[in-house]
Every structure is written in structure tokens, then in C-alpha cells.
Chains A and B, each alone.
Chain A
Amino acid sequence: MKLRHALTGAAAMMAMAPMAFAASHSGERGRDGELKIIYWQAPSIMNPYLSGGTKELEAASLVIEPLARYDQDGNLVAWLVDEVPTVANGGVSEDLKTITWKLSEGLLWSDGTPVTSADVKFSWEYCTAEGGGCAQSEKYLDVVSVDTPDELTAVVTFGIAKPFPYGPFVGAQAPIIQAAQFADCMGAKAPECTEQNFNPIGTGPFTVTEFRPNDVITLAANENYRDPSKPAFATVTFKGGGDAAAAGRAVLETGEFDYAWNLQLAPEVLTQMEAAGKGKNIVSFGTSVERIMVNLTDVSPDLGDERGTAAHPHPFLTDKNVRQALSMAIDRALLVEVGYGDFGRLTCNVLPAPAVFASTANDACLTQDIEGAKALLESNGWVAGADGVREKDGVRLSVLYQTSTNAVRQDFQALIKQWWGEIGVETELRNIDASVFFGSDPGSPDTFQKFFADIEMYTNNFDGTDPEAYMANWSCDQAPRPETQWQGNNMPRFCSEEYDALVTEMSTTGDIGERARLAKAMNDMLMQEYVIIPLVHRGRNAAHANTLGGVIMNVWDSEIWNAADWHRVEM
């Protein structure tokens, strides 16, 4: 207990430290020298519109910025504008079809030219140009025009009423790029603009001095950054490569680097590294949930082309009691401890955050109930056969359980197989290389969309804080099937008119309280039908050196979103 108290005390000190230093941490730009960041997966491009990858998105967030972004609590904050437009302040029209952004005055690009609404309009045109393969085009969905009545005003018009109009130009996924620089890079020419894609001109705190793809990025403070006292660092070395363990070691043990992202390591390894005293682990919880998807369709190979489609219901997973028993048998607390430690939390929802959307109606799942699961199966006619596997009318409870190849996932599979064995469900395990499993090659039988298994496990989340599109994933028409080239997000092939009605209702509801009610209702329906079995609410973790101040971990946006405020602290 003593140690724990000491740690709590230390944590409290740490929490207060930034406040204590805040006063002394203003001064001239570039006063703190070099900042060294290590991303063990190296960024390969600085243009997030051409790569959906998180590593590229975050590297680029040092250079290019959106009009508004999310802070560490998921609130929208004005970034290149003075205030976030809302219906209340007149920025969003009453019919929810237009949103008017007013750029802050005096903003300059890093080359010294002024930022205008034409750049905002261009960013939309660039991402929606035919043949460009823009990774973020979803952000600009339903935008019919962007008008620029004056130099600083951009009016975005949507084709339909948008209760949540903060898709375009919001968050690290949809930054503003300079029209002058990218003018010749539209559509099919986008990939040929190597120079532009590696060295974008931006409004952010840093500018690229040298970009070595998949290796290292060298950046320098942006001389035209809007706050003359920021950034505190004169240069940034953004190194990539190696593995998570090496990155953690470089920050926590040898102190060679200041910041390391995404340290997917066993919790005890990170704690051990932290004990060296050079840095500390940080975590923040967003919307990522490791979950099990239960297939409601029959995937027997004999069905040929109709395999895994709604035409053939699953022989036993369509029985809700079986699905519920599978969920009840799982000890989620143990899974969190084994797989994630402090970087995971218990959850019984597929929509665990933001707080306003999180339901508490399903919390019964927090405790494992093997006996209850057995009784439930027993009372519904599933009785144990000679080999201990339950069966009814000749149907055996035997499932194929697939996931991607990953140490933690294989641990989870082994544990869950054991628990399911205890309640009389036979489990065959399978793991598939992530690039195949998450690839969406319609020719491959092993993708997570085709889901030619009874059970599959992976993590998903959604960008930003609005769950409308995410919850719409489980409407009937989202089921992957041959007609959709096996694309779609409704892996369980769940289909309910009631659910689809809620989806439709949410797309036309503007009131936040009402939206929360609808999202919770959808979440509860999925949970109480047990078509999705949530396992762990996963946090995003990183580590930073003790000498680096101002780091505020943020899962709602780029995690290095506030690098302009980072500074050196004396130990």
C-alpha cells in the first residue's frame, strides 16, 4: 500500500507540474532545441488525404491543420477559426444544411502567404476530385458546394440536413491544404506530386525540412506560426522504424527519444520499462472496443455462393440463448488484466464513449457467470453429449473462432476457448494474417467481411465523437453479401426493422439529448441481442520523457495535436 500511496503522490505532483511550469513556459520560439519523436511504424507520406493510415495522419498533423479539432475530452475546439459554428451562434443554418466557417484574421501559411477561404474550398475540391482516391472522402460526404463570399468566410452546403455538420475540415483527417501548392495535383495526378506530398505547406507549428519516406522526417519550427512564442522546439526529428519494444526502450529506458506512440506491449513490460525513471506511460480512452462478432448466417461450404448470406440462418447461433451463454461465460476482468492492464477497461457496450452516449443497461456482463450460462443452455434444451459438447436435435455447439494474428488476440482466444469449453461449447481456433484478414479482397475467403466462421474478434472504433455513422453499421443493408462484393460493416448480418428505424431517426435528429437516447437504444439492442459481444474498452497509449512537458494525450484527434505547446521541463 505504501508504494501505491507514493505513486499516487507522484502522479499528483506530475499533474500539478505543468501548472507550476506554465508561467515560466513562455518565451521565444525555438528556445528548447530539438524534440525527438519515435513512431515505430514509419510514416510514408505527409498527405493524410492520400493515406488513411494513423501514422501518416499524425505526422502530418504537425504541419497541416483543420479548422476545428477535438480536445482530449472530445469537445470541439476552434483551431484556425475564432469560434466553432453552431445553430446557437448562427454559424449553422436552422435547416441544418449549411455551416459557415470564419477563418481567424492574419493567418499565414508557412511560406508567408495568407490563408484564405479559397484554400478551404480547394481542400474540399482536392479530396473529392475524380480519380484521386482520397482516403478521407467520407468526411466530405453530402457536401454539394463550398462558397467563399469573402477572403475569410467559407460556407459549406450539404445536400441533406446534417444534424452533425462537423465532417468537412474538422479533425486531423480533414486538414486544410494550400491551394497554390496543390493546384496541379488534382485527381489522377495526386500521386505524382511527390514534392507536395512530402513537403506540404501548412499552418501548423512545424514545417518539413527533409522527408525520408518510411525512415525519418526532419522538421523545423514554422516561422509564420500564429503564436510568436510557439513552438518551444526549434527542430523535430520524427524517427520511424523498429518495433514497439525498441521505441518504448528508447523513451523509457535510454532516454534517447522524447515521445513514442502506440506502444502495444504487455502491460508488465511497460511498467518495468517505466521503472527506469526516464519517462512515463500515458493512456487515453476513446471508442475502441475489442469485440466478438457472432455470425447469424450459415457458413457451411456446401452452400456455395449463398454461403454466409441471410438466405441461410446459422444452425444454432440464431438461438439468442446460445449467444447470451457465450457472453456470460467470459471473464472480462481477466481479459483486461492479461491483455491490456492499465491500458484497457471493462465495458459491456460496443459504444463505450463519449460519456453521454455510454449505456449502463448492460453492466451485468461485468461478472463472469459460468453456472448461469450452463443453466441457460440446459433449460433451453442444449444438453451435454458423450464428449461434453452440448447438442440439441443433432446440432452440436461447435464453433470456428477466427481473428487476426496478434499475441494478445491469441491469448484471448485460448482463454475464451477454455471458458466456452466449460459450458459445453466446442471451439476451433484460427488466426489469419492481419493484412489478409483486414484486407477487403473479395476473392479471399479469409477476410473479416466475408466472415466464413461462426465467431470473429477484432477492434473497431469511429473517428471523432459522433456515433451516427458507426451505429448505422448494423443496419440490414450494411450486411456484406455477394451483391455488395462482400463489402459492408454489418459482420453479424444482424437485421431488424426496429434497429433500422432508429438509424433513420438518428439521421434526422439534431438535438444532442435525443441523439444520445437513440444511440444508447441502438447499442442496447445489439448488446441484448448478443450479436456483438464486447470484451475490452481499449485505450491508446504512448510514452513520453519526464523532461517533456505539455503532452496531453488525445484519442479523439491526432495524439500529438498540441505539439505547439510541448516544451522542455527541468527535472
Chain B
Amino acid sequence: MLNFTIRRLLLSVPVLVIISFVIFMLLELAPGDPMANVPLTVPPEVKEKMREALGLGEPWHIRFVKWLIQFFVVEPQVLFDHVFGTGFAEDKLRVISWQTRSPVMDIVVQRIPQTLWVVGMSYVIGVLIALPIGVISAYKQYSIFDQIGTFVSMIGFSVPTFFSGVLLIVIFSVNLGWFPSIYDTTHKVNDWSSFVFQMKQMIMPVSVLALYNAAQISRFMRASMLDNLNQDYVRTARAKGMTEKVVVLVHVLRNSMIPVVTVIALGVPQVFGGAIITEQVFKVNGLGQLLITAIQANDLPMVQTLTFIFAVLIVVFNLVADVLYGVLDPRIRYD
């Protein structure tokens, strides 16, 4: 298993380099101009000077190598300096965003808390709701509970978040005035009332996203449970005189979790990727919003860095899912 993990980790290095190159070339070849948002009153000569100041005058391969060095050498040094108080990265040029003229990684770090709070929380809640619903729906297949569960997950699947989000805002913010429609990212939780406020501002985005996540995962859970409930070992377990509780929650559940865990693990990178639409609707301004505004502004260093970080997360969590597979199912051995 350890061998397998090391082999996979080594293999992911060339994979990631190729990915970063593909992302870079896609952005490079895509039409668009970082100066397009500058008002027309700014003359073209000035825009050309601004473009040069951004380093756009250099050929693409030089810019790609620069980015590689900045991302893989300078940024880790900055992190190292930050943790140990050393000075390796002093005076070295970091990955600089074209919009803000500030280091991309600083902004990413600034955005992570709200994304984790809202998107991460909705994922945890989604999973916590989905698992019991999936188990009960499968155990009592075609019961009223199963029908309702199916209905709700169909809604979760099919209603887009830009609709359900705005619907919640209109009901709870505009008409009832219970919750704020705009998320305050500067809010700090330090006592009971500020905690209540944090709950209030999180409740709408979290429920919109949790519904969506729960819908997907509960269907997987249900399907996986149904597969296992009809297996021979389940009959054997019952024949041995085990209680239904033990049969379902120990034997069936454990075996059914194997594919579901994979699905859950593969969904984690999406949490870091943020929820572009939901973040926009509720003005959470997390990583998703950062990516979309960077795309709109043609801020290539920002888009490149963010998409690459997402690529890293996807590669890593694929590996995690594979390893978990082996842990949960002793029959699977990679060596």
C-alpha cells in the first residue's frame, strides 16, 4: 500500500506539470484582454504601456517558466518564511495578480475561511443528512419515506442554486426580513450574539448548497444499500440470528459505504473550488467568486494559479479515494 501511494505520488508530478501547461496554453490561446475593463476614455497607447507593465510583452514560454518558478519555488519559500520567520523569499517576485497587483496566494489564503465555512459546512451537513436518508430509503424501499426522499432529492438535483438561492432571499430577506441577503466576510465570531449573527448569515447559503449535495449523495447511498441488501451474506447474517440493527448498520452499511466514500472524497476538491454561483448569489466572496471575477477580468496569473490549485486537489483526493478503497475493502490490494 505504501509502495502504491509513493508510486502514485511520483506519477502525479509529471501529470501536474502537464496540467499546468495545458491550463497555461488554454488561457494563452483564449481571446480576451486584461485591459478590456479599462474605460474607453483611457487611450490605447496608455493601455499598451499598462500591458507591458504587466509583463505581457514577453513571449509565452518565458512567462510560463516564470510562473513555474514563482509558484513552485518562491511561494513555498514564502510559506516557509511565514511559518519559521526566515527570509528566503525576500525580494523575490511572487505570483502577482493583474487586477490587484498583489500576491495571488495572499488573496487565496484570505478567501479560504469563508469558503470553508459556507461550502465546507454545507458539504458536511449534506453528507450528514444524505447518509441516514439513503440508508432508510433503501431499507424501506418504496415506502412513503422513500418516496418523499426521492422527491426532495429530485428537487435538489434539478433546481439550480441561482434559482433556489434567490427564492430564499426573496422569502427570508425581502419579505420576512429574518436573514441578511449579503454575507459579511469581515464578521468575527467572539461572543454569543456574534455567533448567532454568523449562523443567520450562513443559514441560507448553507441550506441551498446542502440540499444540492445531499440530493446527490443520498441517491448514491440508497443505490449502494439496495445492491447489498439482496446479497447472500445478508441472508446468512439474518439466518445466524443477528438483529436487524446489526445486519443493516454493521454488515450492510459497511459494505455499502465503499463506493459512497469514494464519491464523498472526490467531492471534497469541489468544496475548495467554492460554489461559484451560490457564492455570487449570497455575496460570500470565497474562492469561487475569486475565480469568476478573475476570469471576467482576464487576470491570467490568478486564473492559472486557482485552476492549478484545484487540479492539485483533484489529483490528491483521487489518490485519497483509492487509498480509502483499499482500507475499507480488504479484498482490494494494490501491491
Contact = CB atoms under 8 A, between A and B. Distances in A.
Interface of A: 38, 42, 44-45, 47, 50-54, 131-138, 188, 190-194, 197-198, 210, 212-216, 218, 237, 239-243, 246, 249-250, 253-254, 256-257, 276, 433-441, 444, 446, 449, 458, 460-463, 487-489
Given A38-B182, A138-B42, A436 B50 contact: no
B215 to A, nearest CB: 25
Contacts of B319: none
Most-contacted residue by chain A among B51, B110, B173, B283 (CB, 10 A):
B283
B285 A216 contact: yes
Task: Report, nearest first, the 6 A-B pairs whose CB atoms are least far apart.
Answer: A133-B53, A439-B33, A52-B38, A487-B44, A439-B36, A191-B101
A53 B51 CA distance: 14
A194 B102 contact: yes
B141 interface: no
Interface string B9-47: 000000000000000000000011101111111111111
B293 interface: yes
Interface in B68-120: 93, 96-97, 99-103, 106-107, 110-111
B110 A188 contact: no
Interface residues of B, number: 55
A446 B31 CA distance: 9
Contacts of B100: 44-45, 194, 197-198, 213-214
A197 B36 contact: no
Given A133-B49, A135-B50, A487-B45, A53 B186 contact: no
Given A52-B35, A218-B186, A444-B33, 19 more contacts: A38-B182, A44-B97, A52-B47, A133-B49, A135-B46, A193-B101, A197-B101, A213-B99, A213-B110, A214-B99, A256-B173, A256-B181, A435-B37, A436-B33, A439-B33, A439-B35, A446-B31, A449-B44, A489-B44
B43 to A, nearest CB: 5
A132 B177 CA distance: 48
Given A52-B42, A131-B53, A194-B103, A250 B32 contact: no
Contacts of A461: 40-41
A191 B298 contact: no
Nearest to B173: A254
A89 to B, nearest CB: 29
Nearest to A131: B53
B44 A241 contact: no
29 contacts: A52-B50, A53-B38, A188-B53, A192-B101, A193-B101, A194-B103, A197-B100, A197-B101, A213-B100, A213-B102, A215-B185, A215-B289, A216-B184, A216-B185, A218-B186, A239-B184, A241-B280, A246-B169, A246-B281, A249-B181, A250-B181, A254-B173, A433-B31, A435-B297, A436-B33, A437-B36, A441-B32, A444-B31, A461-B40
B329 interface: no
B186 A212 contact: yes
A190 B53 contact: yes
Contacts of B33: 435-436, 438-441, 444
A434 B38 CA distance: 11
A51 B46 CA distance: 11
A42 B297 CA distance: 11
Contacts of A45: 99-102
Interface of B: 31-33, 35-54, 93, 96-97, 99-103, 106-107, 110-111, 169, 173-174, 177, 180-182, 184-186, 280-281, 283, 285, 289-290, 293, 296-298
A37 to B, nearest CB: 12
Given A52-B38, A487-B44, A137 B49 contact: yes
Contacts of A38: 182
Nearest to A141: B43
Contacts of A433: 31-32
Contact of B283 (A136, A191, A241, A437): A241
Contacts of B46: 52, 134-138
Given A52-B42, A214-B99, A487 B182 contact: no
A146 B52 CA distance: 26
Contacts of A188: 53
Nearest to A446: B31
Contacts of A134: 46, 49-50
Given A215-B285, A216-B285, A256 B102 contact: no
A435 B27 CA distance: 13
A212 B293 CA distance: 14
A467 to B, nearest CB: 12
A198 to B, nearest CB: 7
Contacts of A489: 43-44
A240 B174 contact: no
A246 B182 contact: yes
A441 B186 contact: no
B180 A256 contact: yes
Nearest to A194: B102
A239 B182 contact: yes
Most-contacted residue by chain B among A215, A237, A434, A441 (CB, 10 A):
A215
A242 B280 contact: yes
Contacts of A440: 33, 35-36, 44, 47-48
Nearest to B165: A246
Most-contacted residue by chain A among B32, B35, B39 (CB, 10 A):
B39
Nearest to A469: B43
B101 A50 contact: yes
A203 B44 CA distance: 31
Contacts of B177: 254
Contacts of B40: 438, 458, 460-461
